A and B are shown apart, each in its own frame.
Chain A
Amino acid sequence: MKTQFKVIVFAAAAALTMAGCAKSETAPAATTAATAASPTPDVAKVPAKEGSAALLKSVEDLKQQLDQKKVDDGKKISGKLDEVWASFEDEVKPKYPELYVKVEKYLTPVEAGLKQSTLDFTALGKLNDELVNVVKELSTSLEDNKGAVNSDAITSSKELQAATKAYNEYVQDQGKQLVTLLEQLDAAVKSGDLKKAQEAYVQARMPYERIEPVIERFAELDGVMDARVDDFKNEDDPEFTGYHRIEHILFVKKTVKDAEPFAARLLEDGKKMQQSIAATNIEATDFVTGVGELMEEAQSSKITGEEERWSGATVPVIRANVEGAQEIYTLVKDELKKKDAALDEKINKSLTAVIDQMNVLSPVGTTWNDFGKLEQSKQVDLKNKLEALAEPLVKMPGTLGQ
C-alpha cells in the first residue's frame, strides 16, 4: 500500500516536470495525490460504468477548453474531476488495477495543474489527452466486462456462496491456529530446548503459508513477520525480525537463548495478524483466485529452497501452500465438476501426485528431510508435479465464472 502511494506521488511529480510545468512546485501535486489516493468518504458512489461515462465526458469537455486555451474555472473543474473519480474508483481498483494506476497517473497532475494561477495549456493538453485515452480504455473494458473473473456468476451461485462462507471460516480457523502455534514456539524457545524450538518453528509456519494470499493483504505486518534477510544488512541487523530471524538463530547459530525476544515479538505480531484476519471478509472472487497465488508461491519462491534456506523445511512449507489450494479446490469441487468434469479430474489427479511425492520426500510430521540434501532429480520431480497441478488449477476460477 505504502509503496504504491509513493509511486503515484512520484509519477505525478515526474509527469508535471516532464511535461514542462517547470514553474509549478511539486508540493501541490503531492497534496492532490494524497487526496486522490484516499477518496473523500462522503462522495456518493455510482456504478463504475456510469462513473466512467461521466468522467469521460468531463475530460472530453476539458479537452475542448484546453484546445481553445480557454478554461472557465480551473479549480472548479479540478474538484469536479476528483469527485467523479471518487464516485467509482473503489470499484475500478480491484477489477483493473493497472488501469486504476494509469488513471491516477494522469488525473493527479491534471488536477494539480488546473489549480495553478497560470495554466500551462501545452502541458495540461498533453496530460489530458493521455487521460482521455485511459478513460476511454477503462470505459471499453467496463463495457465488455473484460474482468479477470466474472464475479457475478460466482456471487449469484448459492453453492459458491456457501463455499465462500466455508472458506472464510477456514481462514479464521487458520488465524487462530497461527496464534496457538506461535505461543508454542515462544514457549519452546523459552524452555531452552533447541530441537523442540526448531520443530515448533516449522509448525508455526504452516497456518501462515496455508492462507498466504489473505496474509499478504496485511502487507505491513507480513513484511515484519515474514521478512527475508536479503532486505537487510546481514543476519544480525537488529531490524531483521520475524520467522526467518528465528530460523537463522535456531538453525545456523543453533542457540535458543538469542531467539527469545524475536519469538516474543513474533507472537505479538501474530496476534495482530489474527485480529486483522478476524476483521476481514474474503469475497467470492478473491476466494477462488487464491489458488493461483498459492501455487505461484510454491513454484517460485519455495521450490528453490531459498525461503527455508536455513531450516531446509521446504517440503513442509510447500505442503502448506498446497493444502491451502486444496482447501479452496475441495470447497468448489462439486461446482467445478458440473462445469468441466475433465478439468476437475485433471486437478484431482495432479493433486494426488503432488501430495504423494511430498509424502515420499518428507513425510508429514514434526520432523522433515532437509530439502538441500535431497537429490537434484527429486527436487526437479517435485517442481514438475507442482507445475502439472498449477496448470489446470489456474483455469478453475475462469471455469467457475462461466
Chain B
Amino acid sequence: MVLGDFIGKAQEKSHSQLPASGAASQEQAQAAEHVSFYGAHQSGILTPQQNFSNVAAFDVTTDDVKELKELLQKWTEMAALLMEGKPLAEEPQQAKFPPTDTGEQLGIASSKLTLTFAVGASLFEKDGTDRFGLRARKPAGLTQMPIFHADSLQDQLTHGDLIIQACADDPTICFHAIRNLAKAARGVAHLRWQQTGQMSIKADGTKRNLFGFKDGTNNPALNDEMFMKNNIWIDAADGSPWLAGGSYMVVRRINMRIETWDQQPYGDQEGIIGRQKVSGAPMDGQGEFEQPNFAADPEGKKTALDSHIRLSNPRTGEASERERILRRGYNFMENLDQVGRMNAGLLFICFNRNIQTQFESIQKRLTNPKMPDQMLAYTETTGGGYFAVLPGVADKNSYLGQSLFGA
C-alpha cells in the first residue's frame, strides 16, 4: 500500500512535467492509468487499492441460461473497453436513440479502473430450483452468507446472484462503470443493492478506518506469490475445476456506531482494538509492523483476550497463517439513519481461497457469543454476501464465466 502510494505520487509528478507536445509520453502516461482486463486472474484483487469503490449486486431475473451467458459476454466486452478508458460508443452518438454510453466519464482519465465479477450461491440454486441447469457446478464452498451473532442483515443490502466490484481513483469512473453495466443488463439482471466506499486519498502509510485506527497493517504483501497461491487463488484440485484461478469474495457492510464509539475513553478504544492509536503498534510493542507476542501474555494483561486483533489473528503459528485473508475494504459515509445517527462504517471486502477455513474461522471467533470481539458492541453488520470470483479472462476470444457454462 505504501509502495503503491509512492508510485502513484511519482507518476503524478512526472505527468505535470510532461511537455504539452509529448504525444508519445502522454500515451505512456495514459497507459499507466489502465489496469489490464485480461489475465489468469481478474483485476481488483491484487491491484494496489484505488481510492474509491462501488460495489453492486444484481438479481438475475431471466430464467433463460442463454440470456445469462449473453449478459456475461456483453459484460466482458464492456469491461475490457471501460478498463481501457474507452467510451462504449462513438461520440457524438446517434441523436435519435438514448445514448449507449451515458458519458459522465468523458474527459476523465480511466483512473486505474478495475472491475471484478463474481457470482452468488443463488445463481446456482434458489428456493430449491436449479435455475439454469448449473446446480451441479455449484462450488461446495459457495454457501449463502449466514447470520453471525449480532448481525442485522437487511434484505435489500444482502446477497445477490451476481456482484461487480468497481474500483478507481475517481468515484465518477466507478459509478459510470456500474451504471452502464446495469443499464446493459436490464431485463436480464437488475440491481439488488449497491454500496460506495472511499479511502483517504493523501494518507501517509496504512490508511485508517472510521474508528480512527490503522486498518490493514497485517495485510499480506501483494507481491507475495506464495501467499496468494496458498490463501487466495482457487485451485482446480479444490473441487470445482471450472473455478480455478478464481477466488472467494466476502462482502460485509459494517455499520459503525460512531456516536457511541466517540463516547469511549481513549485508552478503552485502544484496548478494544488491541493496538495503539497513533502508531498502530501492538499494545506490547513500539512500531506498527512489530508482531504482538500473545504467547507471553496468556492472561491478556497487555492485549485483552477479547480485543479485536487478538481474536482476529491469535498468532498461533501455522494454524493462524492458514487462516489469513486478503483484505480490500473501504470506508463509507452516508446520510443519517432514520433516527438521525451517522450512517457510516466499513465496507469490508476480503478475498480467500476457502471461506469456511479462512474467513469463517476468524469470523466465528469474533462473533462467539461466549467471548465476542469487544468491538461488536460498536458495529452492526447490515449487509453483504458470499461470492465466487470468476476466473480471469485469458484473451479476446474468451469471456467471463466461460468455464462455468462448460464451453
Contacts and interface: CB of A to CB of B under 8 A. Distances in A.
Interface of A: 146-150, 346, 350, 376-377, 380-381, 383-385, 387-389, 391-392, 394-395, 397-398, 401-402
A398 B99 CA distance: 12
B61 interface: yes
Given A384-B61, A391-B186, A376 B96 contact: no
Interface in B65-120: 94-98
Contacts of B186: 384, 387-388, 391
Nearest to B156: A376
Contact of B187 (A350, A377, A401, A402): A350
Contact of B155 (A376, A391, A392, A401): A376
B190 interface: yes
B5 to A, nearest CB: 40
B61 A146 contact: no
A113 to B, nearest CB: 34
Interface string B168-206: 000000000000000100111010000000000000000
B8 to A, nearest CB: 38
B96 A398 contact: yes
Nearest to B94: A398
A387 B97 CA distance: 16
Contacts of A394: 97-98
A139 B378 CA distance: 63
Contacts of B187: 346, 350, 387-389, 391-392
Given A376-B155, A376-B156, A388-B61, A146 B190 contact: no
Contact of A384 (B94, B95, B190): B190
Given A377-B155, A384-B61, A387-B186, A395 B95 contact: no
Given A388-B186, A394-B98, 9 more contacts: A147-B95, A148-B95, A346-B187, A377-B155, A380-B156, A388-B187, A391-B187, A392-B187, A395-B97
Contacts of B155: 376-377
Nearest to A145: B95
A146 B97 CA distance: 11
Nearest to B95: A146
Contacts of A147: 95-96
Interface of B: 59, 61, 94-98, 155-156, 183, 186-188, 190
Contacts of A376: 155-156
B190 A395 contact: no
Contacts of A383: 190
7 contacts: A376-B156, A384-B59, A387-B187, A388-B190, A392-B187, A398-B94, A398-B97
- The SS class assigned to the B binding surface is loop
Contacts of B97: 394-395, 398
A241 to B, nearest CB: 34
A147 to B, nearest CB: 7
Contacts, number: 44
Contacts of B156: 376, 380
Nearest to A398: B96
A15 to B, nearest CB: 28
Given A376-B156, A384-B61, A388-B61, A149 B190 contact: no
Q: Pick from B97, B156, B188 the residue with the most CB of A within 10 Å.
A: B97
A150 B96 contact: yes
Nearest to B59: A384
A401 B61 contact: no
A388 B182 CA distance: 11
A395 B98 contact: yes
A397 B94 CA distance: 13
A402 B96 CA distance: 9
Contacts of A346: 187
A376 B59 CA distance: 14
Contacts of B98: 394-395
A95 B183 CA distance: 27
B182 to A, nearest CB: 10
**The 5 nearest A-B residue pairs measured at CB:** A388-B187, A398-B96, A384-B190, A398-B97, A391-B186
Contacts of A148: 95-96
A387 B190 contact: yes
A149 B96 contact: yes
A236 to B, nearest CB: 28
Contacts of B96: 147-150, 397-398, 401-402
A155 B383 CA distance: 53
A209 B236 CA distance: 57
Contacts of A380: 156, 190
A138 B360 CA distance: 63
Nearest to A289: B96
A246 B232 CA distance: 63
A401 B59 CA distance: 34
B314 to A, nearest CB: 41
A350 B188 CA distance: 10
A353 B399 CA distance: 29
A149 B96 CA distance: 5
A92 to B, nearest CB: 16
A38 B234 CA distance: 72
A389 B187 CA distance: 7
A381 B186 CA distance: 12
A398 B97 CA distance: 6
A395 B61 CA distance: 21
Nearest to A390: B186
A149 B94 CA distance: 10
Contacts of B95: 146-148
Contacts of A397: 96
A97 to B, nearest CB: 14
Contacts of A392: 187
B276 to A, nearest CB: 45
A394 B97 CA distance: 8
A147 B183 CA distance: 24
A146 B94 CA distance: 9
A227 to B, nearest CB: 29
Contacts of A395: 97-98
Q: Pick from B95, B156, B187 the residue with the most CB of A within 10 Å.
A: B187
Nearest to A147: B95
A148 B95 CA distance: 6
A401 B187 CA distance: 24
A188 B118 CA distance: 57
Contacts of A387: 186-187, 190
Contacts of A391: 183, 186-187
Nearest to B98: A394
B29 to A, nearest CB: 34
A40 B97 CA distance: 35
Contacts of A398: 94, 96-97
